[in-house]
Amino acid sequence: MPERRSAREVLALVADDFAEIPYPERQSRPDGPLAWQGYDASRARAAERTGEEESVVCGTAHVEGVRAVLIAFEFGFLGGSLGERTGDRLEAAYAYAREHRLPVVPLVATGGSRMQEGMLALTQLQRVARQSALTREAGLPQIAVLRDPTTGGGWATLGAGADVILALPGAQVGFAGSRVRPPDADPSAYTAEAQVAAGAADAVVPEEELRRTLGRWLRLLTSASDEPAPVPAPLGATGLPATGWEAVRRARAPERPRATAYLDAYFTHRVAVSGDRCGGTDPGMLCGFGGRDGRTVAYAAQTGTATLPAGYRTASRLIRLADRLGIPVLTLVDTPGAANDAEAERQGAGAAIADLFLTLAAARTPVTTLLIGEGGSGGALALAAPGNTYATPDSYFSVIAPESAAAILKRPPREAEATADQLRIRPQDLRELGVTAPPEQTRT
């Protein structure tokens, strides 16, 4: 189990100038709203033990130069549980963030809702959700840090409801706390590492790297721009392919530059979002935010593999977040197509692709697309910006792979090469057809 730091200690870990914001006053009834015998005495002991008056400490501070509202849970105060006065403080913190246009960083360590306040404690989750929703509507980022433990309603609102979710190594994370799980439950499923693997959190960050990592995220997510992302320069072949089949061979060549090479050349630094928040991840879809020439660009990049439903959902999540924060998006298309096996169908491939098409169509932030390899049918087109897509000389885009087209047309396999020419899939064909932009616009 990781070291369990107090609220003040974790605040000192990420910032040096923390200052609390004013809290609203609430007139408490003896032993709380349920007249729970001994509740006042428990609160008094918790206050004496921790030096805090409630289970959260809220205020502002600069994290690596970026001012933010920080919400730190004190687990030593009744297990970091949420009650009415906790809700008052959280509501005040979010309202302050919106008034002053500041990002919100919950540093979560909680066992859930406070039993001694019954349903009134549970309904604080609705208050928190409302404040989080209003903050989203205001275009302000929320970055959660999951400490040990993060369970119950605190995980299901402040934690899992954040835009970006970071976690400390070994932290217990899950909706069910250790005392209420099935007796045969696998404890490894309730860890920060398991949540990242399942696509429910973005990254595990060691304590010694937390301040720097959090600061980088805050800088990137608070740098809005209405300027489109510049188109990356081609990194591979320079001359155009003579035939459609040559375009296919170039795009499938193992030595052709892939998404990672383009991202490395494009950004000075970047951070990744991971997972679709529905239980899945796809290593073949790289998503995140990066810095380039002093500005932030979001990216979603295929790596040349068949894209899984989780990949499409992660890209949709990334683009919606960038759209809400006013950050331009770069997408890199490179896939033979969407995964089409039985498991992909069970995971909702069609719905995931449809959602990405709709997300791109509705985006208000500018989206720029570069085709860097294979453009296989709708599984590739779903990631392409309508009217703002470009192609490298070692790429092709097709309604379907030439081999599959030949098969559908009942042609022998040897005619796949001729079919590639008929499909007009070369970069220059795409330009002439109006699918991609003229080449003079493709270099930065």
CA distance 20 to 104: 14
Cα 67 to its chain centre, rounded Å, is 21
With 0-12 CB in 10 A as exposed, 13-18 as middle and 19+ as buried, what is 49?
Answer: exposed
Residue-level pLDDT at 182: 81
Residue 73 phi, psi dihedral angles, 5° rounding: -85, 140
| HEC letters along 202-269 | CEECCHHHHHHHHHHHHHHHCCCCCCCCCCCCCCCCCCCCCCHHHHHHHHHCCCCCCHHHHHHHHCCE
Angle between helices 309-325 and 349-362 (to 10 degrees): 20
Give the pLDDT band (50/70/90) at residue 439.
Answer: low
Q: Please report, for residues 161, 165, 280, 361, the alpha-carbon distance to residue 82 in angstroms, rounded to integers and kept in the order given.
A: 16, 20, 30, 40
Q: How much of the chain, in percent, has pLDDT values that exceed 70?
A: 98
CA distance 194 to 176: 14
The mean pLDDT value for 46-50 works out to 96
CA distance 349 to 377: 14
CA distance 77 to 433: 66
The mean pLDDT value for 110-128 works out to 94
CA distance 97 to 104: 7
Taking only the tens place, the pLDDT of each residue in 123-167 is 999 999 999 999 999 999 999 999 999 998 899 999 999 999 999
Please report, in angstroms and rounded to a whole number, the separation of the first and last CA atoms in the chain: 49
Residue 165 β-bridge partners:
144
Give the least confident one: 293-307, 381-395, 403-417: 403-417
CA distance 249 to 161: 44
C-beta of residue 111 within 8 angstroms of C-beta of residue 176: no
The mean pLDDT value for 98-105 works out to 98
Nearest to 339 by CA among 372, 371, 302, 373: 302
CB burial readout 304-335, b (16+ within 10 A) else e: bbbbbbbbbbbbbbbbbbbbbbebbbbbbbbb
Residue-level pLDDT at 442: 43
Stated pTM of the model = 0.94
Q: How much of the chain, in percent, has pLDDT values that exceed 90?
A: 86
Residue indicated by tokens 């097709």: 398
C-beta of residue 122 within 8 angstroms of C-beta of residue 114: no
C-beta of residue 155 within 8 angstroms of C-beta of residue 146: yes
Residue 178 has pLDDT above 90, yes or no: no
The mean pLDDT value for 418-422 works out to 92
